[in-house]
Structures are given as C-alpha cells and as structure tokens.
Amino acid sequence: MAAEMTIDMTKTFSGRAPIQARLRYEVEASTVLILFGPSGSGKTTILRSVAGLEWPEEGRIKFLSRTWLDTKSGIRVSPQDRQIGYMPQDYALFPTYSVAGNIGYGLGALASHDKSKRVAEVVELFQLQGLEAAKPRELSGGQQQRVALARAVAPRPQLLLLDEPLSALDAPTRVQLRGELRILLKQLALPSIIVTHDWAEALTLGDVMAVMGEGQIHQVGKPHEVFSRPADADVARIVGVETVVQGQVVENANGLATVAVNGTRLKGLSSEAIGAAVYVCIRAEDVVLEQAGSGMTSARNHLMGRVSDMAPQGVMVQVTIDCGFPLTATITRGAVEDLCLVPGASIIAAIKAGAVHLVPRSVG
Amino acid sequence: MNWTAIWVTFKLASLTAGVLLVVGLPIAYWLTFSKWRWKFIVESVVALPLVLPPTVLGFYILVAIGPHSPVGRFYSDVVGHPLPFTFEGLLLASILYSLPFAVQPFAAAFEQVDRRLIEASWTLGVSKVATFFKLIVPLSMAGLVTGAVLSFAHTLGEFGVVLMVGGNIEGETRTVSIDIYDEVQALNYAGAAKTALLLLAVSYGVLLLVYAMNRKVWAVWPQK
C-alpha cells in the first residue's frame, strides 16, 4: 500500500457552512501539503481535526497505516497518541517556561540526560543558542516562531502541522523566514501540513496544495499547476494569481531582476541572485494590453504576443496571450472591442516591474 | 482569651482549606472545561452556600448526617459514634459551607488559561492530568492561593452552621465566633472585645495577603 494521508470529514459549526473535506494524497518523507484558502474557509478546522483537537461529526482520518479517526468504527485517537508536532497560529508558547523549558516540555518520556541532549540539539538546529533561559515574552516575533517550531519538532513527531506559520510576523521577517522554513522542512525530512492564505508561501513551501473555499476542497494539485490552471472560476478567484510560470534570474541590478521565461525576458522586483530558479507570478488585472507600435510607457515590460484564448467572465474578458509563455490578462469588453482583439491577433502586454512577483522554487 | 476555642477554630479553618484545595480543584476543572449543557445546575449547587442562610444549610447537613439518614447510620456503624456534634461533622459542614469560596476563584483562574496553551501541551504528548499539573496549576497559582485563603478566612468566621451542626462543646466544636457570642451573653464585654479584635486582625491580614498577591501577579505578568 502506498504511503498516504486520507482525510474525509464533515464538521459543522452553527451559523456557518458545513466543512466537508475529502482529500487523499501520497506522503513521502518530506511532503508538504498546503491547505490554501481565505479565512473562514475551514482550513484551520481540518488542521485541528488532523491534530485531534477538533472532532468531526463524521468521517475518517488516516495517516500512513494508522487510523486516527473513524466515526463508523468508533476510533478516536487522542492528540497525545498521534505523535504530531503542532504549531498554532500565535505559537502558544508556555509563558511560565523558559525557551529550553518550552522545547523540553514534550520530552517527559526521556531520561533527564537524553532530554537535555535533545534540547541542546534542537536549540542548535534552530539557532537559539544563548536564549535557553529567556522567557517567551522577552523574544522577538521571529524568535518566538523558531521556539514554537523547535518545541513541535523536539519529540520527533511523524507529522508536522503548522497553522499560518508566518502570518504573525512583519513583512520583511516573513520573507526571510519563508526561505529558512523551506530549507528546514526539507532538512527535517518530515511530512507536514501547512495552512496559509499567502500564495507566495504556498508556492515556496508546498509540494501538494488543496484549495479551500466555504468548507469545500475545490482542487488538489502541485501548487504552480493549481495557480496556472485553476479547475474552475471559484479556484481562480481564491488563488487570485492567474499566471505562474517557471523562470530563471539572469540579471539583477539593485533589486530589479531580469528573468528569462522560455526565451522571453521580464523585469521584476526581487533580491534573488543571478541563476536562481523562480516562479514568475502575475495577476491578470495587472496586465495592460496595447496595440503594437504605441509609444513608451513607464511599464518595464512590453511583451509581444498573440491572443491564444478569450474567455468572457461577466463584464470582463479573460484573455490569454502567448508571449513565449501563456500570460493571462483581464480586461473589459469595451477594451476588447477597441483593440479589435480576436484569437490570433498580435498584441503587446505591458506589466510594471512591481507587478511581476518572483518566488524562489526548488529545481527539479 | 479562650485559647482552646482559638485552636479549634484554626484547626478547623486549616483543614477545611486543605480539603477544599484537594476536592475543589477537580470540581473547578470540571466546571471550567466540561461542555455538558446542564453544567449550570452543578454550578448553582456549588454557589448555593453563598446565598443560603447558614442555619438552613446547617439544618440540612444536620439532617443528612443524623442517625435517621443512611449516611449518618453508615458513619456511626463504621466509626462507632454519630457524626453530628463532633469535630468531624463540623469539618464536613465547613467544607460544604466554604465550597464556593474555593471553587469559584479556582474556576475563574482556570478560565483565564489560554485554551491554545492546553491544546499545545496535549499535542506534545502530555496527558490531561500532567497538563493540569505542569501547565494549568502554575498559570493559575494566584487563583489557587486566593481560593484556599478565602475558604480559610470564611471558616474562621462561621457561626450559624457551627451552632447547628457542631453545637458548643469545649475543645471539640466550640469555635471563636461561638465563644464571642457566649462572652457577650455573659456580659463579659472585655473578653469578647479581645477575641473579636483577634478575629478582625487575622481576617484583615489574610485578605491583605490575597489582594497583594493578585496585584503582584497582575503587575509582573501583564495580560497581552
């Protein structure tokens, strides 16, 4: 039997749409599942059900060969017996314990010598040396996040559950820790489930992604595939980034990076080094279409292409342009008429460098 | 001053506070964390001694432990003498009488503990009981001390329940408050004044301790 995670559950909270999630995916040593969706979509409830902190009225949760929940046969494994590492959104560090005390808290089963050895090991892994005696309230947000993660990882769990791991941090710290978290998760070789509403986190950290909206799972797939090929209009609306393509940084001058995407060059804002593999992410409403031969604009990117597809969406039309890679633009019906757009027509797509988002990706 | 009455009173108050610390914790834990929909029934029963006249409470306890009740008969069969008008009977009555003074501060303190901390502890493999002692108790220390001290202080001053259940037996159930009453009845105001002052001083000192401690915890450990 393939190593799998199965979640099939129904949970109702009064006054909200019931959460009905059905999800099955293959688990390898370090598979990261992203539960993606807006707040209130039910992703945290699913995570908490996997942790054993929430009890669905009905369903089954199975991780590898172990059944954690099966309402039909009455199996209810307590959170204590699931061997998981769980990090809630605001970390929930124990205020009466020091950093070392927090990290060692779940190691009660070990002899005191082994316990202090494991704490020292984890302190080093998370670069918390010198902070062992500090109380949580004396730490910065980034340090608290590392302690919370260290505490979850210390008892060597089988599965790591992270609820919005970076959302409590300020923006610069978040970008930095996003990269660190990705390296760490691969290093730990531990399957994990991460709840997030940030598409950059989903792309950076995820191997599999489940898009959620109003209690339902709408699509499951590789993150960049879900972003660039949403299954339906709901998914497209939830993810909100229509173009996600693979590229490579070929030049970087003071934070203005040039990326090559299948022969086409684009400029975007990023501090990624030359040679870095990235996802190029562009929202359709940030793309301006103009007729060939018009004058210079402030936009740094003018891409020549041909219209390959046009899909009406209410008063808007979603136009796909082949400019070396498929690029999606959303424009009004009036604009379509003014530009005389038909499939096959030549057009120039203009995008400001600030609207070209570069997210690092792992090669392979 | 009647040192025997003072000794009986302090012994009674200390034992009551001690027993309530043991008995009150699980009740308070259950009242705080149970999701049972009829929980308020138990909550009201626990709070009943706050509003009930001590004589009424004492009357029911007296009937409940008397020789005509199964509980009273069982006790006198096992121990050899009936429960009313003994120190043990008085202790039982005091525990019931001071129950809300212990349970309510305990429950209020547990209520303040962030559920997410408790859940984090569970996911780290720590059992519910171990979580209670490793996490909830240290975080509720101020409330636990408050509950113990208040039940101690409340027992010091009880009168009606003592009279109903304990009677007035020197060295056994004669407490300070009864002693003061007797002194006044005998028109010995000087003796009553001394004992009353002692009770006032001790009660005030105990409350000072409670308020100072809650204050200190609040200042050193600000709520976010």
CA distance to partner chain B, nearest, from residue A56 (Å): 16
Candidates B115, B117, B123, partner chain A, best to mutate (most A CBs within 10 A): B123
How do the pLDDT tens digits run along chain B, 224 residues long?
788 889 999 999 999 999 999 999 999 999 999 999 999 999 999 999 999 999 999 999 999 988 888 888 888 888 888 888 889 999 999 999 999 999 999 999 999 999 999 999 999 999 999 999 999 999 999 899 999 999 999 998 888 888 888 888 888 888 988 999 999 999 999 989 999 999 999 989 888 888 887 765 544 444 43
CB spacing of B119 vs A88 below 8 angstroms: yes
Q: What is the pLDDT of residue B220?
A: 43
User: Are A84 and B123 in contact (CB < 8 Å)?
Assistant: yes
Q: Is A109 in the B-facing interface, judged by CB distances under 8 Å?
A: yes
Annotated domain spans of chain B: 3-217
CA dist A82 and A76 (Å) reads 10
Locate the chain B residue with the closest alpha carbon to A135.
Answer: B221
Q: What is the pTM of this model?
A: 0.83
Q: Does B126 touch chain A (CB under 8 A)?
A: yes
Q: Which amino acid would we find at residue B131?
A: T
Compute the C-alpha angle A291/A293/A299, nearest 5°.
75
Are A53 and B120 within 8 A, CB to CB? no
CB B35 within 8 A of CB B113: no
Q: Cβ distance A21 to A15 under 8 Å?
A: no
Is the CB of residue B134 less than 8 Å away from at least one CB of chain A? yes
Q: List beta partners, residue A267.
A: A258
Query: What is the model's pLDDT at position A32?
Result: 94
Whose CA is closest to A166, among A196, A128, A136? Answer: A196
Q: Could you read off the pLDDT of A26-65 as tens digits, one per residue? A: 998 889 999 999 888 899 999 999 999 999 999 999 999 9
- B104-132 burial, b at 16+ Cβ within 10 Å, e below that, comes to bbbbbbbeebeeebbbbbbbbbbeeeebb
Give the pLDDT of residue B216: 55
Q: What is the pLDDT of residues B149-161, one digit of tens each?
A: 999 999 988 888 8
Which tokens in the block code for residue B23?
């008995």
- Give the gap in angstroms from C-alpha B114 to the nearest C-alpha of chain A: 8
Chosen for mutation from B115, B124, B218 (greatest number of chain A CBs closer than 10 Å) is B124
Give me the sign of the Cα torsion angle A123, A124, A128, A130: positive
Which of B116, B134, B221 lies at the smallest CB-CB distance from A88? B116
pLDDT of residue B123: 96
Q: In this predicted structure, what is the pLDDT of residue B213? A: 75
Contact in structure between A155 and B125 (CB atoms under 8 Å): yes
Q: What is the structure's pLDDT at A294?
A: 61
The answer to whether A105 contacts chain B (CB < 8 Å) is yes
Judged by a CB distance cut-off of 8 A, whether residue A111 touches chain B is no
Q: Is the ipTM of this complex over 0.95?
A: no
Write the class of the CATH domain B3-217. Answer: mainly alpha
Mean pLDDT by 10 residues, chain A (364 residues): 87 89 91 92 94 95 94 94 94 96 92 93 93 95 94 95 91 85 89 92 92 92 86 83 89 90 89 88 89 74 91 87 91 90 91 88 68
pLDDT at res. B218: 47
Total number of residues shown for chain A:
364
Contact call for residues B182 and B147 (beta carbons, < 8 A): no
d(CA A50, CA A41): 16
